[in-house]
Amino acid sequence: MRFTDRVAISTGAASGMALVTARMLAVEGARVVLTDVNEEAVNQAAESIRAAGGEALAVRVDVRCYEEVKAAVDVALDRYGRVDILHNSAGGASSRVFARKEPFHEIPIEVVDWGLDVNLKGAVYFCHAVLGAMIRQKGGVIINMGSVDGVTGSGCPDYGAAKAGMIGLTKSIALHGAPHGVRSCCVSPGPVLTRPEMANMKTRLGRAAEPEEIANLIAYLCSDEASFITGANYVIDGGRSIGGMA
């Protein structure tokens, strides 16, 4: 029970890695605040955690809107009095989300803006909104979700740029937080079996990751076992970024 009485906010938590991780934190005692733009889905996700015996609260948030981001943090502080963990997980490749097959220079700029805003600006907004509370309580952990595409480059340039930006954001927040006991780490996965098509992406280990493998790393970095780790990017990609993949 590494997270008893700790409060965690997770973004994009109606599904995918954010939900898997939130469930893992809740099993180990955390009170989780799930945020997502899909209100019905995030309410169902929170209910599934409560049904399993955990404590969970759902808040609809569009991470592109700072007022909604700040309101969600205020909900957590009003309800629980603190925020110990922030898991910035909202995102997705814009070309996939909007089913765009054109070359990058032909994709509508509104689609590119969505990719930058959701994958990077939303994380910046949440860091801005929680950092003051973490500094006041003299502790906290911020986990930013990068991607192997932020290391190697991406067929979706706005996604690769945003995920590379998550590494810089992590290091910068680590610098600000270190004097106050606030840590920040980036986790950059390769293909993860949150979607069936991920199984077709090649890695040196010959498979995609199980979601729990990524969540285990995130939970470790959030725990006191990782108390001397900050500012680092953890690539967990089965060797995909080593290079030489045909």
* Residue 137: both structure tokens together: 């309580």
Catalytic residue among 66, 80, 125, 159: 159
* Residue 161: both structure tokens together: 């740029």
The H-or-E segment that residue 231 falls in is none
Sign of CA dihedral 201, 207, 212, 213: negative
| Strand 55-60, strand 7-11: pairing | unpaired
Nearest to 100 by CA among 157, 54, 46, 60: 157
**Measured distance CA(49)–CA(172) in Å, rounded:** 33
Strands across the sheet containing 140-145: 55-60, 31-36, 7-11, 85-88, 140-145, 182-189, 233-236
Q: Is 236 exposed, middle or buried (0-12, 13-18, 19+ CB in 10 A)?
A: middle
One-letter amino acid for residue 220 of the chain: Y
* C-alpha pair distances (Å), 175 with each of 8, 131, 169, 181: 21, 12, 10, 11
Q: Is 80 a catalytic residue?
A: no
* C-alpha pair distances (Å), 162 with each of 31, 149, 158: 29, 9, 6
Neighbours of 26 (CB within 10 A): 23
Q: Which residues are marked as active site?
A: 159
